[in-house]
Amino acid sequence: MGALALTVPSRAGTLSGGLAVAATDTISRDKLGSRGVLLEIINGNAGADAMTISDASATASEAAAAALAPSVAAGASRIFKLHPSMADPITGLISITHGVTATVTYKMYPRD
Protein backbone atom coordinates (compact mmCIF):
# COMPACT_ATOMS: atom_id res chain seq x y z
CA MET A 1 0.00 0.00 0.00
CA GLY A 2 1.36 3.39 -0.93
CA ALA A 3 0.51 6.79 0.50
CA LEU A 4 0.32 9.20 -2.43
CA ALA A 5 2.42 12.37 -2.30
CA LEU A 6 1.40 15.83 -3.47
CA THR A 7 3.22 17.78 -6.14
CA VAL A 8 2.90 21.39 -5.03
CA PRO A 9 3.17 23.90 -7.87
CA SER A 10 5.34 26.94 -7.28
CA ARG A 11 5.81 30.28 -9.00
CA ALA A 12 9.25 29.19 -10.19
CA GLY A 13 7.87 25.86 -11.45
CA THR A 14 7.91 22.41 -9.91
CA LEU A 15 9.41 19.39 -11.62
CA SER A 16 6.69 16.78 -12.03
CA GLY A 17 7.70 13.54 -13.70
CA GLY A 18 5.10 11.31 -12.06
CA LEU A 19 5.50 8.67 -9.35
CA ALA A 20 4.77 4.93 -9.47
CA VAL A 21 1.41 3.62 -8.23
CA ALA A 22 0.96 0.54 -6.02
CA ALA A 23 -1.76 -2.11 -6.22
CA THR A 24 -3.53 -0.13 -3.47
CA ASP A 25 -2.82 3.54 -2.82
CA THR A 26 -4.26 5.91 -0.23
CA ILE A 27 -4.75 9.64 0.07
CA SER A 28 -4.94 10.98 3.62
CA ARG A 29 -7.31 13.71 4.74
CA ASP A 30 -4.36 16.05 5.48
CA LYS A 31 -3.35 15.87 1.79
CA LEU A 32 -6.94 16.61 0.69
CA GLY A 33 -7.04 20.03 2.39
CA SER A 34 -10.37 21.85 2.30
CA ARG A 35 -10.92 21.66 -1.49
CA GLY A 36 -9.47 18.26 -2.37
CA VAL A 37 -6.91 17.26 -4.97
CA LEU A 38 -6.57 16.63 -8.68
CA LEU A 39 -5.22 13.13 -9.31
CA GLU A 40 -3.87 12.27 -12.74
CA ILE A 41 -3.26 8.62 -13.62
CA ILE A 42 -0.84 8.09 -16.52
CA ASN A 43 -0.99 4.58 -17.99
CA GLY A 44 2.13 3.58 -19.90
CA ASN A 45 1.11 -0.08 -19.72
CA ALA A 46 0.02 -2.18 -22.70
CA GLY A 47 -3.25 -3.00 -20.89
CA ALA A 48 -5.99 -0.87 -19.39
CA ASP A 49 -5.80 0.03 -15.69
CA ALA A 50 -9.15 -0.92 -14.13
CA MET A 51 -9.36 1.17 -10.96
CA THR A 52 -11.60 1.55 -7.93
CA ILE A 53 -11.69 4.84 -6.01
CA SER A 54 -13.46 4.66 -2.64
CA ASP A 55 -16.10 7.26 -1.84
CA ALA A 56 -17.50 7.61 1.69
CA SER A 57 -19.61 10.68 0.82
CA ALA A 58 -23.41 10.77 0.49
CA THR A 59 -25.61 11.70 -2.44
CA ALA A 60 -28.09 14.59 -2.40
CA SER A 61 -30.74 12.13 -1.17
CA GLU A 62 -28.35 11.12 1.66
CA ALA A 63 -27.71 7.65 0.22
CA ALA A 64 -24.17 6.33 0.35
CA ALA A 65 -22.21 7.27 -2.75
CA ALA A 66 -20.97 4.44 -4.93
CA ALA A 67 -17.26 3.87 -5.36
CA LEU A 68 -15.90 5.08 -8.68
CA ALA A 69 -14.78 2.33 -11.06
CA PRO A 70 -13.00 4.07 -13.93
CA SER A 71 -10.60 2.52 -16.39
CA VAL A 72 -7.57 4.26 -17.87
CA ALA A 73 -6.87 2.92 -21.36
CA ALA A 74 -3.41 1.75 -22.37
CA GLY A 75 -1.20 4.71 -23.26
CA ALA A 76 -3.74 7.23 -21.92
CA SER A 77 -4.07 9.61 -18.99
CA ARG A 78 -7.12 10.47 -16.93
CA ILE A 79 -7.54 13.14 -14.24
CA PHE A 80 -9.90 12.92 -11.25
CA LYS A 81 -11.20 15.57 -8.86
CA LEU A 82 -11.26 14.05 -5.38
CA HIS A 83 -13.02 15.88 -2.54
CA PRO A 84 -12.39 15.64 1.24
CA SER A 85 -15.93 14.31 1.77
CA MET A 86 -14.86 11.13 -0.06
CA ALA A 87 -12.47 10.18 2.77
CA ASP A 88 -13.58 7.42 5.12
CA PRO A 89 -14.74 9.10 8.36
CA ILE A 90 -12.91 6.53 10.52
CA THR A 91 -9.60 6.08 8.68
CA GLY A 92 -9.48 9.50 7.02
CA LEU A 93 -8.39 7.86 3.75
CA ILE A 94 -9.49 7.60 0.15
CA SER A 95 -8.33 4.24 -1.22
CA ILE A 96 -7.45 3.63 -4.85
CA THR A 97 -6.83 0.17 -6.29
CA HIS A 98 -5.21 -0.51 -9.66
CA GLY A 99 -5.62 -3.50 -11.95
CA VAL A 100 -2.13 -2.98 -13.38
CA THR A 101 0.83 -1.18 -11.85
CA ALA A 102 3.79 -1.69 -14.20
CA THR A 103 4.52 1.64 -15.97
CA VAL A 104 1.47 3.30 -14.37
CA THR A 105 2.30 6.59 -12.67
CA TYR A 106 0.43 9.44 -11.01
CA LYS A 107 0.62 13.17 -10.39
CA MET A 108 -1.44 14.71 -7.59
CA TYR A 109 -1.97 18.44 -7.11
CA PRO A 110 -3.65 20.29 -4.23
CA ARG A 111 -6.69 22.44 -5.00
CA ASP A 112 -6.17 24.75 -1.98
Q: pLDDT tens digit string along 52-89?
A: 999 999 888 888 888 999 999 999 999 999 999 999 99
The residue ranges of DSSP E strands in the chain, in sequence order, are: 2-3, 19-20, 24-28, 37-43, 49-53, 71-72, 77-82, 93-98, 104-110
Share of the chain above pLDDT 70, in %: 99
Architecture of domain 21-110: Sandwich (2.60)
pLDDT score for 108: 97
H runs (alpha helix) in the chain: 29-32
pLDDT greater than 80 at residue 1: no
Please compute the mean of the pLDDT values over residues 9-26 and round it to a whole number.
Answer: 94
